[in-house]
């Protein structure tokens, strides 16, 4: 890992047992999955960062006995989560990029090409937030190709769904729909191979949400509304991050179709979920819908939403 895991040091007398290594791997997995649930980004970030540095330190001190590739993969998984929490929680693009790069280097050190596919996809999403759409498209194509060759079915499905969104952002409808077909075919393979080294969770409900979001970007509002409502029915009530994103997308569709009252209700739901998990990116989505609703600023529901957002800014 280019120096991140320097073997040797004063801790050579003690080495983590196989059971300890198993427990640390379980802990990394539980942190990754917690992102999709009720845990706040502000709560997850310190623990995940500490866990990542603990794993790095075990390698530096030659206290890891379960194989360097396994350790590098765990460092990479933790680094991806740290980067995502920095990007989506506090919108710290620089810190997120550092940790995504660490995750990619770790994946290469581990020969974990499934993890490398996810890291590349994360870098593509980072490029979207950094307003570098051309870079995002190039990177997500590389992520999709690597996932097709070496990724697990769930990672292949996620990478293809992400590609569909980026194609939709660029107005490439045919390419977007083709990527969604690839994602659906890959997701069928998760019954035999349910493994996942990404953050949160990716399943049929999330794929339906991606489909609806892509249709929204393409201006297919009626079809987008149908799929986004379906996704909300399928999503576990505890998956607050995904429910916030999908609620905001549905609210945007409704605003664009002039359904002011329900759009405000869905926007309020998205804000409730986003506030519970301290997720700045989701709050920014809410503000985007609110901006669209301002043409009806005199409507009581819009005024109430405005007051709620103003109170949050105080």
pLDDT tens, 179-198?
A: 999 999 999 999 899 999 99
Q: Residue 144: pLDDT above 90?
A: yes
pLDDT tens, 198-228?
A: 999 999 999 999 999 999 999 999 999 999 9
Please state the domain extents for the chain: 1-111, 113-194, 234-314
User: 126 near 100, Cβ under 8 Å?
Assistant: yes
| Interval 221-238 mean pLDDT | 97
pLDDT tens, 277-301?
A: 988 889 999 999 999 999 999 999 9
pLDDT tens, 21-59?
A: 999 999 999 999 999 888 898 999 999 999 999 999 999
Q: How confident is the model at residue 6 (pLDDT cuts 50, 70, 90)?
A: very low
Half-sphere exposure of 67 (CA within 13 A, CB side): 9
Q: Residue 1: pLDDT above 90?
A: no
Interacting residues of 24 by C-beta distance below 8 A, sequence separation 6+:
16, 51, 54, 55, 74
What pLDDT sits at residue 13? 65
* Mean pLDDT of all residues belonging to the chain: 93
Question: Which of 261, 260, 233 is CA-nearest to residue 246?
Answer: 233
pLDDT tens, 89-109?
A: 888 999 999 999 999 999 999
Cα→Cα distances 107→7, 25, 118, Å: 18, 15, 10
CA dist., res. 294 & res. 83, Å (int): 34
User: 269 near 303, Cβ under 8 Å?
Assistant: no
Can you read off the two tokens belonging to residue 202? Answer: 């990716």
pLDDT tens, 54-73?
A: 999 999 999 998 899 999 99
What pLDDT sits at residue 101? 97
Q: Indicate whether this model's pTM tops 0.75.
A: yes
């Amino acid at each position: 890992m280019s120096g991140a895991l320097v073997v040797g040091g004063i801790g050579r007398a003690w080495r983590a047992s196989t059971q300890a290594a198993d427990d640390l791997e379980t802990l990394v997995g539980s942190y990754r999955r917690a992102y999709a649930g009720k845990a706040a980004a502000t709560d997850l970030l310190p623990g995940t960062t500490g866990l990542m540095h603990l794993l790095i330190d075990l390698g530096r001190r030659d206290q890891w006995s379960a194989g360097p590739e396994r350790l590098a993969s765990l460092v990479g998984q933790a680094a991806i989560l740290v980067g995502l929490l920095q990007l989506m929680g506090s919108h710290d693009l620089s810190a997120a990029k550092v940790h995504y790069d660490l995750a990619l280097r770790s994946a290469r050190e581990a020969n974990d090409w499934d993890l490398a596919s996810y890291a590349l996809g994360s870098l593509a999403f980072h490029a979207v937030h950094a307003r570098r759409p051309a870079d995002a498209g190039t990177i997500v194509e590389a992520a999709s190709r690597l996932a097709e060759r070496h990724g697990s079915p769930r990672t292949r499905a996620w990478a293809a769904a992400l590609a569909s969104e980026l194609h939709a952002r660029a107005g490439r409808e045919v390419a977007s729909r083709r990527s969604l077909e690839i994602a659906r075919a890959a997701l069928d393979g998760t019954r035999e191979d349910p493994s996942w080294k990404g953050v949160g969770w990716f399943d049929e409900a999330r794929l339906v949400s991606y489909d609806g979001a892509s249709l929204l970007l393409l201006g297919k509002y009626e079809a987008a509304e149908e799929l986004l409502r379906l996704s909300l029915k399928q999503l576990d009530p505890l998956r607050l991050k995904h429910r916030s994103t999908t609620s905001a997308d549905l609210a945007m569709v409704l605003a664009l179709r002039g359904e002011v009252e329900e759009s405000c209700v869905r926007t309020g739901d998205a804000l409730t979920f986003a506030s519970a998990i301290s997720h700045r990116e989701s709050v920014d989505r809410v503000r985007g819908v609110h901006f669209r609703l301002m043409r009806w600023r005199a409507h009581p529901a819009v005024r109430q939403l405005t007051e709620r957002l103003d109170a949050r800014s105080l």
